Structure 1
Amino acid sequence: MRKTFNTSYKEALRERILAASGVKRAGLVLKGAKVLNVFTRELEEADVAVQDGFIVGIGAYRGEEEHDLTGRIICPGFIDGHIHLESSMVRPEEFERAVLPHGTTAVVTDPHEIANVAGTEGIEYMLRETEGLLLDVYVMLPSCVPAAAMEESGAVLQAEELRRFYDNDRVLGLAELMNAPGTIAAEDGVLSKLEDAARMKKRVDGHAPGLSGKALNAYCTAGVASDHECCKKEEALQKLRRGQWIMIREGTAARNLEALISLCKDPWASRCMFVTDDKHPGDLRRLGHMDWIIRRAVLLGADPVTAVLMATLYPARYFGLRENGAVAPGYRADLAVLTDLEEMRVERVYKNGRLAAENGRVLHKGIPSAVCKKGADGLGGESFQSVFHSFRMAPVRTQDLKLEPEGDTVRVIQLTPKELLTRERLEPWTHVAGFPPGVDPARDIVKLAVFERHKGTGHKGVGFLGGYGLKAGAVATSVAHDSHNLIVAGVSDSDMALAAEAVRKAEGGIAVVKGGTLLGILPLPIGGLMTPMTAQAVDEKLEELKRLAAGLGVREGIDPFMTLAFVSLPVIPALRLNTCGLIDVERQEILEVSFGETQFRNEKVGGKLYGSGENISPERK
């Protein structure tokens, strides 16, 4: 899908040049506003002339169509440099409807969530679903499917499976390289992916929390150009010194802006950008998208113009989007019209020179691919079967949750407030009346289980979670980064089994259970990650489920579902649980492997991890 430059391009360019020079009237002129110049950091009082979707002039112009924007500020449309669209839980068409009114005109997505479920078919689905949107959706190819050797996802993607996607103009590079240990060890499979990206002159994004010293040098030597996992300024500065760009993340689960706010000034800001990573529809509707991050940065002390640049020019420079990120001749007419720079209220949004949203309402949107429109089954017809029918697992039974004491202590995965990091918490085994062994709500210890759901292996991990706050019932979800197996937390084995079964029968979703009763469920039948419902409907259902979870004791300030979704991800320190068992992320070791009522210890052989239990897949034995 390479661009071709033919007579039609030449004629369009001629028209733009003539409009820029004033020989002819421009198609559209926005008059009377102050224009934010991202190059000189000035506010210029000038008209903005637009022809065929491009800005052709800043100055005094007449247009075939003129809009009076007196008293307003025109700035470039916002760019989210790193997001997983699947985490919005809605189809890309609905995501566009949610973010366009907030001034977002482009996003860079990593579809590794759907790729972990459906492999290359998942990537193809996201490309097809986004190709007709008005919102520019660029793609970074998933670098780690699965995220780690100690994962069981629905697919394994090597360099040869990814290579063909580089022919698509919207593919900008290789997404977050979570396999930092494999990169530093120069593993052949990782090097093949890096070689392809280098040959195509594409960006490589990073994901390496806590990496420093010679290991960081090796990671940067491999060509990894960015990181979005920094939660402390000291770590971010180390990576900036080694030439990496820092993506300052402020999403639904992980919020690092306050800790990194001092980077939002010279000399660091020009190598930083704002990103969301993961964003639930409720946050998008009530708080906003990139406009909310800019607004929050200003409240925390950032200069407003600098904050705007970190969501416009700087991400455009990083990704090589030469037509994006500025209000200047030759740039796309992707514009956010603001009431002022402090409140950052977006009044109008122009996309490709066309009024797309006004006062929070979408006026014009893109057209999704016909291939992905609803079929007879209510979803995708006969297309993308591995996306729309992704559950292949046996029913979950109460006895599948049993876990008997081994030794005197139990390892508890302790959550860290407002961060994705966890720590190990050692507690004595107890048996509190009315609860399964080890579960003690009074000490904030609940049971946690992860079930493989892609290939019917029957594998599972069972352990304990702290800091979640649950006092009764259970919460289950098929959104469990990054392999998206079925994860459930609870204080009752029977309630956990019921919640897990509700999700399985729905072929994906989020369920809340108490006392043998299903209190509520949000079905997510698209890969177990997304729904064809509207963003408003999803938001309302999620809020209902959050209230139910809070009623069961989930701590205030914790998103019960987004937080739970990351507990199984074995690439973020320090302790995780997945279908392989309990994982020490920093040592990359399986500490405990659980299957039924039996516990197994791991052994390290030839530098690779092998479990001695039935739940370790054959290729890992």
Structure 2
Amino acid sequence: MRKVKQLQERVAVSDLRAAADVVIKNGRIVNVFSGEIMEGDVAIKSGYIVGIGDFDDAAEIIDAMGQFIVPGFIDAHVHVESAMVPPSEFARVLLPNGVTTIVTDPHEIANVAGAKGIEFMLDDAKEAPLDMYVMLPSSVPATPFEHNGATLLASDLCTLYQHEKVIGLAEVMDFPSVAKGHKDMLQKMADAEQHGGRIDGHGAGLTRADLNNYLAVGIRTDHESTTAVEAMDRLRAGMFVMLREGTVGRDMIHTLPAVNLKNSHRFCFCTDDKLIDDLLEEGSINYNVRLAIANEIDPVMAIQMATINAATCHKLPHLGAVAAGYQADILFLRDLETVTITKVMKRGQVVVDDGLRVEARFQKADRAFESPAIRHSLKREDLKLAMGNTTANVIGMQPNSLFTEHLVETVTVQDGEFQTSIEEDQLKMVVVERHKGTGCVGVGIVKGFGIRNGAIATTVAHDSHNIVAVGSTDAAIMAAIEHITKIGGGIAVVKDEKVASDLALPIAGLLSVQPYEEIQHQLGRLNDAFRDVSAKQGFDPFLTLSFLTLPVIPNLKLTDQGLFDFNRFGFIEVEV
């Protein structure tokens, strides 16, 4: 009955029999359906737009003064955990950037804490003036090639579909399980379809022939295109293509050439993984829109990609447009070229005005989360890398890319052990299992960090989130790992053998309990500390390190079980 009453109220306003809650006047409306710029009043009742036309009777009149009126932006695929804050704090960051809805995959916290981690994220988002829709993690663990903290089978996920904010199955990373028809993976997909949800893909490195397996089982999206050719392959296969611009995965410049007037309706934007400092300095989806416009995408088309296309992709029919019957998530833009946001409305209420948050709308969640303990018994001798000759498989880190190079290089070996080389930038990398105390430690060689006299370590290590570290000496690596273990998870930079800077992440070793402003400050100190031990610039060393453990992304990665070759989809020896 409540829903019926709400519909009656909306109809009454739309035919001028009753007053609106809010009417926006003198705005230039971007019509995402026709591609036009329209004039007209926007009438809002109970959080929904009830009409475009001439409306004078309202509790509140907002004069847009000629500004552009556009729908709230939608991030089509994001991992909240990568910002290192819970959803309630994430909303404080995103709303000034015009992002009013996100579609998230909480597989980071799920790989540490299982279903309890997902439930915490859903619960924490309840009070935030931001719609957070959840795609349930499909791959917990992500692969059988590393140890994580939990296992989520189809039966574990099924009950979570009852939550109103759960709308599908998240990125299916375990392509071999799909190709081989593994029963539990297919059951997860069948359950998603039964509940009317979308199934997201993760097609990193997949060929056009590989994509057939994805399409055959109902996977309809992908966010892993790194070139225009890959984007077109996915488009031609029938997928929605999410163009990514995050902290490490900066792919839009290379994928935007695939977009044109005929096919733009099948493209949308995502950030995937973006740190707080980048969100604050660059923005979120608003940055994607600006970047697209700067690279010759029509402004209205870019706004369509950020709004109605993402809503259509995820089957969210009440979002993505300024039109009758749509949720009143509305942005005021001073101009379309720079995407300068002056006001943000969420469900018809102003939550950002003149670029400043209306803090009264931001009710912070106050919910404790009992994090699983960090469990390991690492010893210095575990860091040794035995080698019989001087030719080695080396992970070639590529700045601002999730991909790595598979290098084969001559390295220094002394007394049967690998020795780091500052001159050749050949450093030791270590992954330590932290969830169940298995004692598994992976040791490899990485090139690209340029660390001269120290180490960095973190409990953020996609996707199983073990401890990962890289450094110039075993002593520095050990000091960094011991410190983040002591503080219950986080990031640390060690200079020589002394901790220079850190950031505690007590929620599952992934999230902070502090306001984002403090996290930004601490990240700044971490970056300063890294610059003090490395001459390499122009990339985020901490998020980059965290992705060097992800075996479902080409080409060479390190897990707690050893060196993994994506192309062989199996382990190889460090020594050639």
Q: TM-score, normalised by structure 1?
A: 0.90
Instruction: Determine whether 1:427 maps to 2:406.
Output: no
Structure 1 residue 19 corresponds to structure 2 residue 13:
yes
Alignment of 1:195-344 (within 5 A): 195-344=190-339
* Alpha-carbon offset, residue 366 of structure 1: 4.5
Alignment of 1:142-153 (within 5 A): 142-153=137-148
> Aligned residue for 2:112?
117
Of 562, 570, 574, 1:581 maps to 562
Tell me if 1:492 matches 2:473: yes
Aligned partner of 1:414: which letter?
A: G
| Partner Cα distance (1:328, 1:573) in 2 | 43
- The answer for the alignment partner of 1:56 in structure 2 is 50
Contact 1:410/1:438, CA 8 A, preserved across alignment: no
Q: Residue in 1 aligned with 2:387?
A: 405
* Conservation of the 8 A alpha-carbon contact between 1:130 and 1:368: no
Instruction: Find the aligned partners of 1:334 and 1:173 in 2 and give their Cα distance.
Output: 22
Distance 1:222 1:366 in 2: 41
Q: 1:573 deviation in Å?
A: 0.8
Q: Once the 2 structures are TM-superposed, how far is the Cα of residue 368 of structure 1 from its aligned partner? A: 4.9
Asked if the contact 1:448–1:490 (Cα under 8 Å) also holds between the matched residues in 2, the reply is yes
Question: Which residue identity is paired with 2:570?
Answer: E
Letter aligned with residue 222 of structure 2: D
Contact 2:276-2:519 within 8 A present in 1 as well: yes
Aligned residue for 2:423, secondary structure, equals: helix
**Could you tell me the percent identity over the aligned residues?**
40
Measure the CA separation in 2 of the matches of 1:12 and 1:201. 25
The structural deviation recorded for 1:369 is 4.9
Counterpart of 1:61, as a letter, is F
Correspondence for 1:533 among 511, 514, 534: 514
- Measure how far apart 1:210 and its partner are: 2.2
- Write the deviation string for residues 498-554 of structure 1: whole angstroms up to 9, x where unpaired: 000101011111000012211011000000001011111101111111111122115
Equivalent in the alignment of 1:613: none
Question: SS at 1:443's partner residue?
Answer: coil
Q: Distance in 2 between matches of 1:105 and 1:311?
A: 11
CA 156–254 in structure 1, closer or farther in 2 if over 3 Å, else same: same
Letter in 1 for 2:313: Y
Q: Distance in 1 between matches of 2:492 and 2:209?
A: 45
Structure 2 contact 390–412 (Cα < 8 Å) conserved? no
Confirm or deny: 8 A CA contact 1:474 1:490 kept in the other structure.
Answer: yes
SS at match of 1:441: coil
Q: Distance in 1 between matches of 2:303 and 2:173?
A: 29
What's the CA shift string for 1:284-307, capped at 9, x where partnerless? 112111111101111111111111
By how many angstroms is 1:346 displaced? 0.6
Structure 1 position 418, deviation (Å): 2.1
The more displaced of 333-342 and 396-405 is 396-405
Q: Which moved more, 1:258-267 or 1:539-548?
A: 258-267
Note if 1:365 corresponds to 2:346: no
What is the rounded CA distance, in whole Å, between the counterparts of 1:333 and 1:554 in structure 2? Answer: 48
Flag the 1:416–1:268 CA change in 2: closer, same or farther, 3 A: farther
Supply the distance in 2 between the matched residues of 1:589 and 1:431 (Cα, whole angstroms).
25
The CA distance in 2 between the partners of 1:443 and 1:359, in whole Å, is 51
Give the letter for the 2:211 counterpart.
L
Moved more, 508-517 or 423-432: 423-432
Q: Where does residue 415 of structure 1 map in the other structure?
A: 397
Counterpart for residue 609 of structure 1: none
For 1:49 and 1:31, the matched residues in 2 are separated by: 9
* Structure 1 residues 56 and 167: alpha-carbon distance in aligned structure 2, compared to 1, 3 A threshold: same
Measured against aligned partners, the alpha-carbon deviations of 1:439-492 in whole angstroms (never above 9, x if no partner) come to 112111111000000011111100110112222200000000000000000011
Instruction: Confirm whether residue 181 of structure 1 aligns to residue 176 of structure 2.
Output: yes
Separation of aligned partners in 2, 1:359 and 1:389:
42
Alpha-carbon distance between aligned partners in 2 of 1:45 and 1:560, rounded to the nearest angstrom: 48
- For residues 221 and 359 of structure 1, the distance between their equivalents in structure 2, rounded to whole angstroms, comes to 48
- Partners of 1:137 and 1:144 lie apart in 2 by 20
Aligned to 1:390: 373
Whichever residue aligns with residue 524 of structure 1, its letter is L
Q: How does 1:492-531 map to 2 (within 5 A)?
A: 492-531=473-512
C-alpha displacement of 1:362 = 1.4
User: Contact 2:411–2:426 at 8 Å: present in 1 too?
Assistant: no
Aligned residue in 1 for 2:424: 443
After TM superposition, which residue ranges in structure 1, 4 or more long, deviate above 6 angstroms? none
| Contact persistence 2:127–2:364 (CA under 8 A) | yes
Given that 2:86 and 2:511 are in contact with CA atoms closer than 8 Å, whether structure 1 keeps it comes out as: yes
3-state SS of 1:511 partner: strand
- Contact 1:264 1:306 survives alignment (8 Å): no
Deviations 1:300-349 (A, max 9, x none): 11111111111100010111111100000010110011001001011000
- TM-score (ref. length: structure 2): 0.97
Find the aligned partners of 2:535 and 2:426 in 1 and give their Cα distance.
12
Q: 2 CA distance for matches of 1:9 and 1:590?
A: 56
Partner of 1:9: 3
SS at structure 1 position matched to 2:494: strand
State the Cα distance separating 1:587 from its structure 2 match: 1.2
**Counterpart pick for 2:543 among 549, 553, 562:** 562
| Amino acid aligned to 1:420 | L
Task: State how far apart, in whole Å, the 1-side matches of 2:372 and 2:506 are.
Answer: 7
The answer as to whether partners of 2:172 and 2:202 remain within 8 angstroms in 1 is yes
From 136, 140, 147, give the equivalent of 2:135. Answer: 140
SS of equivalent to 1:442:
coil
Residue number among 469, 477, 484 corresponding to 2:450 in the alignment: 469
